[in-house]
């Protein structure tokens, strides 16, 4: 099967940047230059997370190159040119502006390492891997994706920023792969959920990054990080979003020690963590898996719109739980505060935090006691256990709920 894409030369020795999806699974890669000369290329390395790849040709001469510019300096409204081979039309140039920056969800899909520049310059099939250049001819993005119902340009094109590409390119050329740092935690990628969690913990809305889950045996766990800790700084730099945290950690050298400031139960402390290899420490995200149990709990109406039940010895055995502690969510009312927050049947509530008040939930009565203390309009954090459908492993995380 033949696949067509675009790339551009970034080193006179013949190194070419393009998209991962252009060369993925290719058995033979051919490159045609502007002078119509053709060369078989060697794949140097590819990174699916950023959708970038580097190939190399042996032209026997120094090749002209495009300079990679500083994508951080790009402003919304800046004029840009998109260059590529849409529908096999070589060296087509279209123009437009930067429509937006920092787009992280394209067509409903999210990738932690992709934060796109959006442009209305026409980008079509065949443009993938081509340069998006500014008015001084510097590459500030690599054309990667479009949103269109017809697969033709609808004015919604997306380019990976050049600053991201530079980091990936350097690693691919040096080692043929991209290695990223990791510490083994999970956190919310939803700014609204983050703000609610911060308020529930009695902190200001932009308090930092709330740790939802700590991978057992990972660098964070070994250092003493707990679920519920709020990361506010790393090596003195303020951390206010998950993307900022990921950028610092992922770009840190494996084996390096970082100093992480956390807020735990209203008290700040600094914890040293040794960076690990992200691929080795990251855990699979939990997915919901409920038992075949039709018991609808005690039947009492909850402020949150849920019903809970005690965990029986049969459930402990069936669900492979360590104990009967917690309140099992047996049903969630449609359009309730709980449903809106993402609470699902099959979760187990183990802790409730409402500002300065903290409740350990070992029984249904413990949960009811915590619920009686909840006030209308208050943001409350629930620590819940949820089972991974693939591994049957139970993991804890926080869910923020606004009390109606």
- Specify if 167 maps to a domain: yes
Q: Are residues 48 and 76 in the same domain?
A: no
Instruction: Assess whether 277 and 211 both reside in one domain.
Output: yes
**CA–CA distances in Å: residue 150 to residues 14, 63, 95, 210:** 35, 37, 20, 40
CATH code of residue 363: 2.30.42.10
Query: Does pLDDT of 224 surpass 70?
Result: yes
Taking the C-alpha atoms of residue 293 and residue 350, their distance in angstroms, rounded to an integer, is 20
Catalytic site residue from 47, 51, 120, 229: 51
Catalytic member of 46, 85, 115, 128? 128
Looking at 122, 144, 175, the residue that finishes a domain is 175
Provide the percentage of residues in the chain whose pLDDT is more than 70: 89
- Give pLDDT, residue 391: 77
Q: Is residue 62 part of a domain?
A: no
* pTM for the whole structure: 0.66
Residues 75 and 170 grouped into a single domain: yes
The Cα–Cα gap between 182 and 254 comes to: 8
- Write out pLDDT tens, residues 280-323: 886 433 333 334 333 334 444 567 889 899 998 888 888 889 89
Task: Tally the C-alpha atoms within 13 A of residue 372's C-alpha that lie toward its C-beta.
Answer: 7
105 in the same domain as 18: no
Instruction: Select which of 21, 153, 162, 366 is catalytic.
Output: 21
Query: Does residue 300 contact residue 313 with C-beta atoms inside 8 Å?
Result: no
Is 325 an annotated catalytic residue? no
Residue 207 falls inside a structural domain: yes
Q: What is the mean pLDDT of residues 239-265?
A: 89
Contact indicator for 306, 339 with CB cutoff of 8 Å: no
Q: Which one of 137, 152, 175 terminates a domain?
A: 175
Q: Does the annotation mark 21 as catalytic?
A: yes
Q: Which residue has the tokens 């070589």?
A: 90
Q: Is 268 found in the same domain as 191?
A: yes
pLDDT of residue 234: 95
3-class DSSP state of 41: strand
Average pLDDT over residues 37-54: 94
For the chain, what is the domain count? 4
pLDDT at 286: 34
Residues 90 and 135 grouped into a single domain: yes
Instruction: Look at residue 1 in the predicted model and tell me its pLDDT.
Output: 64
Q: pLDDT tens, 361-397?
A: 999 999 998 888 888 888 888 989 988 877 778 888 8
CA 354 to chain centre: 27
Return the bridge partners of 379, or none. Answer: 402
> Does residue 209 lie within any of the structural domains?
yes
Report pLDDT for 90.
86
Q: Give 96's strand partners.
A: 80
Residue-wise pLDDT tens digits, 98-140: 999 988 766 555 567 778 899 999 998 889 999 999 999 999 9
The pLDDT tens digits of the residues spanning 155-213 come to 789 999 999 999 999 999 999 999 999 999 988 766 666 677 777 777 776 788 888 88
Query: Residues 163, 190: one domain?
Result: no
Note whether 278 and 182 are within 8 A (CB): yes
Q: Do 203 and 231 belong to one domain?
A: yes
76 and 12 in a common domain: no
Q: Are residues 82 and 160 in the same domain?
A: yes
> Domain check: are 134 and 161 in the same one?
yes
Q: Are strands 276-277 and 306-309 parallel, antiparallel or unpaired?
A: unpaired
DSSP 8-state secondary structure symbol assigned to residue 67: P
- For residue 240, the enclosing domain spans 185-281
Q: What is the pLDDT of residue 109?
A: 53
How many separate helices (H) and strands (E) can be counted in the chain? 9, 27
**Average model confidence (pLDDT) for the chain?**
86
We report the CATH number of the domain holding residue 32 as 2.40.10.10
Same domain, 31 and 85: no
- Contact between residue 190 and residue 100 where contact means Cβ atoms under 8 Å apart: no
Closest CA to 14 of 48, 53, 60: 60
Distances (CA, A) of 215 to 42, 179, 218, 305, 320: 38, 19, 5, 30, 19
């Amino acid at each position: 099967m033949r696949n067509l894409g675009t790339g551009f030369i970034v080193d006179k020795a013949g190194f070419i940047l393009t998209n991962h999806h252009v060369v993925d699974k290719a058995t033979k890669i051919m490159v045609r230059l502007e002078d119509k000369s053709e060369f078989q290329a060697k794949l140097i390395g590819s990174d699916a997370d950023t959708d970038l790849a580097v190939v190399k040709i042996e032209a026997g001469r120094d090749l002209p190159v495009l300079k990679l510019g500083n994508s951080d300096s790009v402003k919304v409204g800046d004029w840009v040119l998109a260059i590529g081979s849409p529908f096999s039309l070589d060296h087509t140039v279209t123009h437009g502006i930067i429509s937006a920056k920092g787009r992280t969800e394209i067509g409903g899909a999210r990738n932690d390492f992709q934060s796109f520049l959006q442009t209305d310059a026409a980008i079509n099939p065949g443009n993938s891997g081509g340069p998006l250049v500014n008015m001084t001819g510097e590459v500030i993005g690599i054309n990667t994706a479009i949103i269109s119902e017809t697969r033709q340009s609808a004015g919604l094109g997306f380019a990976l920023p050049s600053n991201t590409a530079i980091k990936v390119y350097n690693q691919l050329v040096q080692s043929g792969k991209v290695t990223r740092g990791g510490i083994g935690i999970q956190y919310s990628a939803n700014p609204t959920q983050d703000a609610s969690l911060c308020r529930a913990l009695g902190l200001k809305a932009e308090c930092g990054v709330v740790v939802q889950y700590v991978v057992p045996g990972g660098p964070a766990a070994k250092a003493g990080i707990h679920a519920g800790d709020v990361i506010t700084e790393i090596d003195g730099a303020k951390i206010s979003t998950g993307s900022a945290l990921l950028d610092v950690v992922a770009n840190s050298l494996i084996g390096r020690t970082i100093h992480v400031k956390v807020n735990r139960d209203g008290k700040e402390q600094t914890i040293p963590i040794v960076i690990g290899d992200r691929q080795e420490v990251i855990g699979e995200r939990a997915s919901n898996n409920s038992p075949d149990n039709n018991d609808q709990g005690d039947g009492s109406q909850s402020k949150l719109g849920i019903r809970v039940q005690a965990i029986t010895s049969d459930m402990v055995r069936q669900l492979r739980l360590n104990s009967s502690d917690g309140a099992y969510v047996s049903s969630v009312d449609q359009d309730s505060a709980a449903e809106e927050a993402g609470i699902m049947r099959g979760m187990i509530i183990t802790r409730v935090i409402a500002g300065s008040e903290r409740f350990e939930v070992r029984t249904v009565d413990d949960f009811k006691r915590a619920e009686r203390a909840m006030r209308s309009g208050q943001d409350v954090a629930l620590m819940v256990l949820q089972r991974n459908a693939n591994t049957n492993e139970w993991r804890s995380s926080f869910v923020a709920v606004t009390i109606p």
